[in-house]
Structure 1
Amino acid sequence: MQTHPSGDTFRDTLGSIYGVSRKMPKIIAPLTDIRCSTAKPREREYKLFDGQGLYLLVKASGGKYWRMKYNKPDGRAGLASFGVYPEISLKAARDRRAETRALLTKGIDPIESAREKKADRSAASLNNFEAVARAWHASMLKWSPGHSARVLSELEADLFPAIGKRSVADLKTRDLLAPLRLVEKRGALDTASRLKQRTVCIMRYAAQNGVIDYNPALDLAGAIATKKTVHRPALQFERLPELLGRIDSYGGRPLTVLAVRLTLAVFIRSSELRFARWGEIDAGRALWTIPGCQSAPNSFQVTASKTFQSATWFSSVSCAV
């Protein structure tokens, strides 16, 4: 080979003219599974390179971790972690390298992309139907404990298993209708109607709190069959003696007879009668003080008619209980 007077070879001279480095690029032999598995720890951590930025970091403790060096779209250096070997195999690490390079060709930083996806998953878990429904349920502070428990029980039984884990932002009218159809199909029309109303309220709550822009449950109107209401005719006044006679001749529990007769005398709600306590009743004065509740916070007093103003009647109730 010809030599320049300065002592450089012809190739060196061309390299200096055209700006080509004398050093040839280092050729990296791809890793193998055997090399990865047999790599032993040293006093200091070291790297086994596979090419295109991917390498296996072998710690002094013996742990082996996949890493990939790359340049971010803005030119800064980046370092991606792909997991631990051998849980993440050589092939899996290469697949992730290919995914990372594909994102970089689109100008996307893979680390930022992963963070955004994680944030989206976290937001989706907070805004799924069950989470929003429970938040709505917790906001109903005026409900009595019993009613609150019944509402939640119905949601847990019929709605949460079907759509509870789905993001409310992804739910369409047809998705909300599907579990209601199942309840309707088994003949529980009243339950289906209540669930439809609560679905509307839950999705309205989501819209009011900025989770969704439109309430798709509004289009459920008329989609569920309703039970036809049968109105019973009012009892004619002249037939009251017949009613009292039938009550007295009733062959069921004596307490039922006494409860019906008391209802006719004082005209209270059935729930107030069923949940009455002896401490509320002054038998000597025939006075019943009904305590308040969440829906009716003020207590009120009921005075029985003369028919029930005897200690004998209250004694009969006590015995029937």
Structure 2
Amino acid sequence: MSAISELTSLRRTRAKTAAERQQQRKENGRDNKAGYLFLLPWLVGLVVITIGPMCASLYLSFTDYNLLQPPKWAGLANFREMLHDTRLHQSLKVTFIYVFVGVPLQLALALVIALALDKGMKGLSFYRSIFYLPSMLGGSVAIAVLWRQIFGTDGLINQALRLVGINAHTGWVSDPSYALGTIIILHIWTFGSPMVIFLAGLRQIPTMYYEAAAVDGARRWARFSKITMPLLSPIVFFNLVLQIIGAFQSFTQAFVVSGGTGGPSDSTLFYTLYLYNRGFANLQMGYASAMAWVLLVIIGAFTAINFFASKYWVFYDD
């Protein structure tokens, strides 16, 4: 009888366990449905705003499309035209100069300011907000217009030079030799965002390392090069990747300063500005779509190179 009772009890336990599992699956299913319901707006936005336009752009890059007539399949014609487009080559040159000069100088200035603010001065929150403000305004049309006036023939820069006896009659933004430099200066001026990230990283470095180095007699440069930079290298890498991606996509500054032409003499013809002109000014949307995908490949290549090279200079404190 005891064996029969045990068998019956085991069957009841198994049935109860199966019922509990089924109930748990139902509850998990309800939780999943609720989760998908909350994710639905984001999923719709991802498909409609991001994935859908990207797929459409990829298709249009292989077509001849002028926005007024249905697109006509052109195969690789747009990409072959790029090989002989001298203005596109000039736009790549201008963009690479802007990225390779502007990004390192911006990050260097951001790091210097962050090191100064990390010393624990009074009113740190105020200074941090003031230094961050250019990053919020630097990409605006208003600041670009102001920048054009500052570096104009009768702008603030030339007025300041005349006060010290230098008669500068050249409009910096109208001179091909200096026009790109003024936009690079504007980019450097927007150092607030990487500065805040650097400052947060500096605050995470344990002070015991500096105390031990001071006991060993390490000088300031030795502490900076042997402690600060290695421990801050992940932050430097993070800022570097973000700023390179952002610099390749810069558009507003060049558009406003040059009046949308990329002048003078295509000296400020950014890649994105030329893409805009081909797509919306010349109604060559197929060619512009092809340019957009080339830009995506360029940004992806630089990002991949940065990640590959990071293993040689980025150190993680495990």
Q: TM-score, normalised by structure 2?
A: 0.24
Q: TM-score, normalised by structure 1?
A: 0.23
The structure whose residues are more often helix, as a share, is 2
Higher Cα Rg: structure 1 or 2? 1
